[in-house]
Structure 1
Amino acid sequence: MPKLGIEQRSIDFVPHAERHGSARSLFAVWFAPNMQITTVVTGSLAVLVGLSLPWALLAIVVGNLFGATIMALHSAQGPKLGIPQMIQSRAQFGVYGATLPLILVLLMYIGFFASSAVLGGQALESWLGWPIVPAIIVTSAVCTIVAIVGYQLIHVMERIISVIAALAFIYLSVRLLQAPGVGSTWHAGHFHFGIFLLVVAIASTWQITYAPYVADYSRYLPADTPMSGPFWWTYWGSAIGSIWMMAFGSLAASIAVKTFGATPVAYVVDLAPGPVRWLFYIVLLLGVFAVNTMNLYGAFMSATTTLAAIFPMKLGAAARTVFVLAVAVVSTGVAILGYGNFVANFENFILFLAYFLIPWTAINLADFYFVRRERYDIPSIFERNGLYGRWNGRALLAYAIGIVVEVPFVSSTFFTGWLVSHLGGADISWILGLIVAGGVYLLLSGPIVRRENAWFAQRQATPASAESVG
C-alpha cells in the first residue's frame, strides 16, 4: 500500500507499476458517501411530493437498483483504462467536444458540494451554536484538505466512515422505528403513477450523478482486475447505502413532515438521547466530509480536463492545490448564497441534472461496451490531433438528439413538457434520453469502427507500448 501523501497524478494514465489495491475497497468508497444527511433528505422527497410510504419505498428501491447498474458499469472501466472517467469521454466526443459535457458535470459537482455543505453547516450550527456561514466554511475547508491529498487518503477515510456511519445509523434506524405514529404512516398518502415515476427518476438520478467520476476511484486497480469485481463492489456499496438512507428519510418525513422538512439535521440527531447527541452530530459531519471530498475531487478532475484541452499543462502538487482551492471557494460561495431555500433548490437541481447526464452516460457506455469494446489507444486521448480528433460530430449529434427527445416529457417545477399531461404527470424523459442517445450513437458509429480497425491494424506492424492500448 503506497504511503499517504499528496497524489502525484491527476488526469494522466496510471502506469501498471503503480497499480495496487483490491476491488473490495470500492464497497466502502461508495457506501460511505451515501450514508449521510443529503441522501436522507433526498429520500424524504419521495413522501413530500405526495407518495404513500409503501409506494415511496418501492420507488426508492427500483430507482436505486437501476441507477446503480449504470454507475457500476462506469466503475468497471477504471482498471481497464487507467484514466479518470471524464477524460475518457474524449474518445467519444473528441478532445474539444468533450468539454461540453465536462462543463455540465463541473456544474453538477459544484451544486452537490454546495448542497451537502449546507447540511454540514447546519449540523455545526445546531451542535456548537455557530452562525451558519462560518459553519459552512469550516465544513468545506476539511473536505478541501482531504481532496488536495487525493486518492489514497480518500480511500482510507471512506473505510473508516463506512464503519462509523453503519453503526450509528443502525441505532438511529431502530430509534426511528420506535417513534410514535410509525404504524399510521403505512396508510397515509396515496399512489399516483406520475409521482411514482418521478421518485424513481430522483433515485436513479442520484446514482447516475456518480457516473462522471466513479472510475476515478477504480483506475489505480491492477489492469487484470476482472470487470465483475469493480462492478459488484461498487454496485452494492452504493445501492445499499442509498436505499437505506433514502428509506430512512421517507419514514422520517412520513412521521413528522413539518419538523423533518424544516430541520432535517436536528430531527435525525434528536432521535438519540440528549447526553450522546454530540456523537451523532459528528457522524453527520463525517458523512458530509465523505461525499463532499469526492465532489471536490471530481470537480478538480473535470476542471483540469476541460482546461487541459485548451491549454496544455503539467499538474504538479502546487497546481493541484490551486485548482482544488479555486473550486472549493466557488462551491462554498454557492452554498452560502443558496442555503435559505435548500430543499426546493435541491429538488430542482437533481432533476435538472438528469436531462443532461443521461444522454452522456448512454453514449459513454454504448461506446465502451458495444462500439469500441474496451479497446482504446490511451496516448491518443491526450492528443488534439490524435486518433479521436478534436470533435466527434456523430457523438455530439447523438447527445443533442437525446436531450431534444427528453424535452416534451420533462416534468419539473421550472418546466413541464407538453406531453406530460397525457402521461398523468409522469416524467419518462430520462428513460427516453438513455435509449435514444445510446441507440443513435450505435447507429452512427459504423464509420468510427471501420476507421479505427484500420488504424489498429496498421499499428500492429509496429507495436506500441503495452500501456498504450486499453
Structure 2
Amino acid sequence: MAETLVERRSIDVVPDSERHGRAFSQFTLWLGANLQITAVVTGALAVVFGGDVVWSLVGLVLGNLLGGAVMALHSAQGPKLGLPQMIQSRAQFGVRGAVVPLLLVILMYVGFFASGSVLAGQAVGQLTHTGDSTGIIIFALVTGVMAIVGYRVIHALGRVASIICAVAFVYLGIRLLDRVDLSALLHDAHFSAPMFLLAVSLSASWQLAFGPYVADYSRYLPRTTSAKATFWWTLSGSALGSQWSMTFGVLVAATAGEKFLAGQVSYVVGLGGAGLIASFLYFVIALGKLTINVLNTYGGFMSMVTSVSGFRGQKVLSQRARTAYIALIMIAGTVVALLGKDSFLASFKDFLLFLLTFFTPWSAINLVDYYLISRERYDIPALSDPDGRYGAWRWDALGVYALGLLAQLPFLSTAFYTGPLVAPLGGADISWIVGLVVPAVLYWLVARRNTAHVPEATILPEPEPESVTS
C-alpha cells in the first residue's frame, strides 16, 4: 500500500517493513516538547516555595537527569518491540490486569491536556483577538487533528518546535539577563535540604510523567536501532529542553515572583516586547503547548485503546474508532479546561501531581521486568491473549504495585494529603524515590522465582499478507 501521512497503526506491533527514522528524532521531539511555558512554571516553583537560585538549579539538573534516565530507559524499549508503551505492561500485570495503572494514566493525560489548554488558550485568544474560552476550543481542535494524523506529524511538529522554541528562548534569555543582576543571584546561595529535595522532586516528577507513553514515539524506529542511541538521544533532548525552560523559570521567579505566577503567559510576552514580537511569542507559547498536548492526547488515546482491547481482544483499530477515541480525550480535556480556567486550575495541578504517585511503581516494575527478568524477550502475540503465557491477571505484580503505592504515602506531600514522615524531613517530598526503589526491589525478588512465562527469544506475530503504513 502506498505510504500515507495518516497513521494506521495503534496498539498492534509495527512490522519491520514499516520501520523508519533515526534515533536522533527522539532528541528533536523531546527538546520541542519541553521548551514550553509549563516547564518554565515548574522551575519557578522551586524558588517560589523558598529555594535560592543556585541550589534550585542544581536540584533541578539532578532531578531532570535521574527522572530523564528512567524515562529514556522506557524509550529504548520502542524499537525492540515495536509496541506502544502501556501495552507492554500486560507482560507484567496480565492482559487485563494492566488496566489498573492504565485507567490512572488516562486520567492524568486528560488532566495534562486540560492544564496545558488553559495556558495555550490564553495565547491563542490573544493571537486571534478572541477570549480565552475560544482560544481553548481552537487549540483543542488543532490538537485533536494532529493526534489523529499521528506519528509522522507528531515528529514533524517536534522538529519545528525544537527550532522555533529554541530561538525564542534564546531571545527571551537575553532579554531576561538584561534585567537580572545574575552575579548577585548566584552569590545568594543558602543550602536547604528540604528545598533542594523539592527542586529534585519537581524536575524528576516532570520527567517521570512521560514514562507511560515515551515508547509510543520510538516504536517505528528500525529494530536494529541501537538501544544506547535511543536512550541517549531521548535523555539529552528531554533533560536539555526541560532544564533550559526550568532555568528560565528560576531566574524569572527570583526577580518577578508573584507577578509571573499571576500571569505566566502575559509576563513572558511582556518580557519579550510588543507588536510583532509579542505576536511571535504568543505563537511560540501556543506551539510549545501544542507539541506536548498532542503527545498527551495521543498517549491517552493509546492507553484507552489498550484498556478496552484487553477485555475485547481487539488488535487492530479502524480509522473511525481511532477518531472517536481521540475525540473523547479531546472533549474531556477541553471541558475540564473550560471549567477550571479561572479558579480550579491550581488545585487540579495538585491532583495531577498526586496522580504521579501511581506511575513510579509502574515504571519500576516495567523496567525491572524488561531489563532484568525478561531481558528484552517477550511473546508479543501473547500480549493480546488472556489465556496465554501472561494470563489475564498477574496478582504477584499487582500486589507489588499496591505495596509500592502504600510505601509512598508516608513521604507524600500535596495540598490535600501530607504523610507523617514529611515533617521530619523538613517538608521534603521524596515519595517518588520510594516509589521507584521499593517496588523495583520487591518485584525483582518475586519475579525471579518463577520465569516460566519468559520465552527463549522474542516471539513476533505472523507477517501480514499486506502491510499498512504509519
Normalising by the smaller structure, the TM-score range is over 0.9
Secondary structure (helix, strand or coil) at the match of 1:274 reads: coil
Instruction: Indicate conservation of the 8 Å contact 1:202/1:350, yes or no.
Output: no
**Structure 1 partner of 2:447:** 445
**Structure 2 partner of 1:113:** 113
How many residues in Structure 1 have an aligned counterpart in Structure 2? 461
Deviation per residue, 1:381-428 (Å, 9 max, x gap)? 011111100001111011011111111111222111112222222222
Shift of 1:334: 1.0
From 395, 401, 404, give the equivalent of 2:403: 401
Instruction: Indicate conservation of the 8 Å contact 1:115/1:342, yes or no.
Output: no
CA distance in 1, matches of 2:61, 2:231: 18
**Structure 2 partner of 1:281:** 282
CA distance in 1, matches of 2:413, 2:394: 31
Relative to the length of structure 1, the TM-score reads: 0.94
**Structure 1 partner of 2:346:** 344
What is the one-letter code of the residue matched to 2:335? G
Secondary structure (helix, strand or coil) at the match of 1:270 reads: helix
Deviation per residue, 1:157-186 (Å, 9 max, x gap)? 111111111111111111111115555444
Secondary structure (helix, strand or coil) at the match of 2:343 reads: helix
**Structure 2 partner of 1:36:** 36
Instruction: Indicate conservation of the 8 Å contact 2:137/2:334, yes or no.
Output: yes
**Structure 2 partner of 1:303:** 304
Report 1:243-392 matches (<5 A): 243-275=243-275, 276-313=277-314, 314-341=316-343, 344-345=346-347, 347-392=349-394
**Structure 2 partner of 1:415:** 417
Deviation per residue, 1:306-350 (Å, 9 max, x gap)? 011122334111110111011100011111112223663365134
Q: CA 1:157/1:464 → structure 2, altered by over 3 Å: closer, same or farther?
A: closer
With 191-200 and 297-306 compared, the bigger mean Cα shift is at 191-200
**Structure 1 partner of 2:225:** 225
From 419, 436, 441, give the equivalent of 2:438: 436
CA distance in 2, matches of 1:357, 1:145: 28
CA distance in 1, matches of 2:418, 2:189: 24
What is the one-letter code of the residue matched to 2:227? M
Secondary structure (helix, strand or coil) at the match of 1:178 reads: helix
**Structure 2 partner of 1:67:** 67
Q: CA 1:86/1:165 → structure 2, altered by over 3 Å: closer, same or farther?
A: same
Instruction: Indicate conservation of the 8 Å contact 2:413/2:419, yes or no.
Output: yes
The percent identity for this pair of structures is 47
Query: Aligned pair 1:144/2:141, yes or no?
Result: no
Secondary structure (helix, strand or coil) at the match of 1:224 reads: coil
Q: CA 1:121/1:187 → structure 2, altered by over 3 Å: closer, same or farther?
A: farther
Shift of 1:48: 1.1
Shift of 1:297: 0.2
**Structure 1 partner of 2:467:** none
Secondary structure (helix, strand or coil) at the match of 2:342 reads: helix
What is the one-letter code of the residue matched to 1:298? G
CA distance in 1, matches of 2:352, 2:48: 15
Instruction: Indicate conservation of the 8 Å contact 2:14/2:219, yes or no.
Output: yes
CA distance in 2, matches of 1:127, 1:342: 24
Shift of 1:190: 5.1
Q: CA 1:235/1:390 → structure 2, altered by over 3 Å: closer, same or farther?
A: same
CA distance in 1, matches of 2:289, 2:344: 15
Relative to the length of structure 2, the TM-score reads: 0.94
Secondary structure (helix, strand or coil) at the match of 2:179 reads: coil
Instruction: Indicate conservation of the 8 Å contact 1:202/1:351, yes or no.
Output: no
Instruction: Indicate conservation of the 8 Å contact 1:126/1:266, yes or no.
Output: no
CA distance in 2, matches of 1:409, 1:67: 18
